[in-house]
Amino acid sequence: MKIGELSTATRVSRRLLRYYEEQSLIAPRRSENSYRDYDERMVDRVFQIRGLLELGFPTRVIRQILPCLDRERVIHMNDVTPEMLAMLEAEASGLDEKIRFLVKNRDAIREYITEVQQRHTVPTNT
């Protein structure tokens, strides 16, 4: 897929996609005319990058952990420092806390829905 198609599929600007490429977060193939050609898997990769950026991860750390998100795991250990490992551990703990909070809220919403459905006949949108 061309860069415009990837941009449309991910709602990420072409400029930002080129930045991700400069940061070695995504790697397109080049066609004979030097156009970027992205594999379909890059859509998920861009979503992963966006999610990690939203959590506050810097691109240098994202570059290190992206291989852990692939099915074929090839972990790169360049530039790993004790500080980076401590930051990743803190982020993982923070994610655990957010997951517990989300699960608690999801369960409360489901419980509310069940109660409402048992007490009232709620019309469905069909």
Question: What per-residue confidence (pLDDT) applies to 69?
Answer: 76
Tens digit of pLDDT at every position of the chain (126 positions): 999 999 999 999 999 999 999 999 999 998 888 888 998 889 999 999 998 898 888 888 888 888 777 655 555 566 778 887 888 888 888 888 888 988 998 899 899 889 888 888 656 665
Q: What is the pLDDT of residue 20?
A: 95
Q: What is the pLDDT of residue 10?
A: 94
DSSP per-residue letters across 61-108 = HHHHHHHHHSSS-----TT--HHHHHHHHHHHHHHHHHHHHHHHHHHH
Which pLDDT score, from 0 to 100, does residue 86 have?
87
Burial 27-42 (b: 16+ CB within 10 A, else e): ebeeeeeeebebeeeb
